[in-house]
C-alpha cells in the first residue's frame, strides 16, 4: 500500500494542534507541515481548507479533516499501532471509551481553570487560581490515574501524584 499524502495545517502556539502532530509523529507517518499564523485573519486559501479558520486541519490523500480529536482518532484508526487497540480487538471499544472519558473529564473539569490561573495576577489571586487547578486534578483526574482507566496496569507503577507534577 502506498504511503498516504498528508498535510497538517497547524500553529505551534495551539495546544490542540499539538495533539495531531504528536499522533502523526508517534505513528511515524511522513507529513508536510503548513504553519497558519493565528495572529492575523485567515487567508482565503486556508478558509477553503477549513472554513472555520481553526487549526489543526489535516489533508489526507486529498480529504480534509478538522478538529484535533477527530484527526487523532482517524489517524489511529487508519494506522493501527501501539497507541490504541482497534475497535474490533477484544477490549478495544471499551479502551477507547475510557480514553474518551478521561479526556472529557480533563477538559470539562480542569482545562478551563488553567486559563484562569495563567491569566491571574501574581500574588493571592494567582495562588488561589493555582490551588483550584490542583484541587480539580486531585479530585477528578488523579482517581482516574490511580485505577489506570486507560492504560495497561503494567504502566501504573508510579509513586508520584498528578498534583505533584502540576506543582513542580
168 residues of the chain, pLDDT tens digit each: 688 999 999 999 898 899 999 999 999 999 999 999 999 999 999 999 999 999 999 999 999 999 999 999 899 889 988 878 888 888 888 888 888 888 889 889 999 999 899 999 999 999 999 999 999 999 999 888 876 655 544 444 444 444 444 433
Give the domain extent around 24: 6-78
At 92 the pLDDT is 83
Cell numbers at residue 15, please?
495546544
Q: Give ∠ CA 151-12-31 in degrees, rounded to 5.
A: 75
Residue 112 lies in a domain: yes
Residue 1 lies in a domain: no
At 147 the pLDDT is 66
| 33: CATH | 3.40.30.10
Specify whether 130 is located in the same domain as 154.
Answer: yes
- Are the C-beta atoms of 16 and 66 separated by less than 8 Å? no
Domain count, the chain: 2
At 1 the pLDDT is 66
Residue 148 lies in a domain: yes
At 21 the pLDDT is 94
Distance set, CA 52 to CA 36, 38, 59, 112 (Å): 13, 12, 15, 22
Specify whether 111 is located in the same domain as 70.
Answer: no
At 96 the pLDDT is 81
Amino acid at each position: 500500500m502506498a504511503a498516504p499524502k498528508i498535510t497538517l495545517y497547524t500553529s505551534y502556539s495551539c495546544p490542540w494542534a499539538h495533539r495531531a502532530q504528536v499522533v502523526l509523529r508517534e505513528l511515524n507517518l511522513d507529513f508536510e507541515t503548513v504553519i497558519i499564523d493565528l495572529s492575523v485573519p485567515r487567508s482565503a486559501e486556508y478558509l477553503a481548507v477549513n472554513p472555520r479558520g481553526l487549526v489543526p486541519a489535516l489533508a489526507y490523500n486529498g480529504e480534509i479533516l478538522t478538529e484535533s480529536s477527530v484527526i487523532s482518532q482517524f489517524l489511529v484508526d487508519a494506522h493501527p499501532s501501539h497507541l490504541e487497540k482497534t475497535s474490533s480487538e477484544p477490549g478495544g471499544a471499551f479502551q477507547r471509551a475510557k480514553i474518551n472519558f478521561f479526556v472529557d473529564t480533563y477538559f470539562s473539569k480542569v482545562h478551563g481553570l488553567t486559563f484562569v490561573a495563567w491569566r491571574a495576577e501574581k500574588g493571592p489571586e494567582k495562588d488561589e487560581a493555582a490551588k483550584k487547578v490542583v484541587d480539580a486534578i486531585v479530585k477528578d483526574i488523579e482517581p482516574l490515574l490511580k485505577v489506570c482507566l486507560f492504560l495497561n496496569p503494567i504502566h501504573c507503577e508510579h509513586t508520584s501524584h498528578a498534583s505533584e507534577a502540576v506543582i513542580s
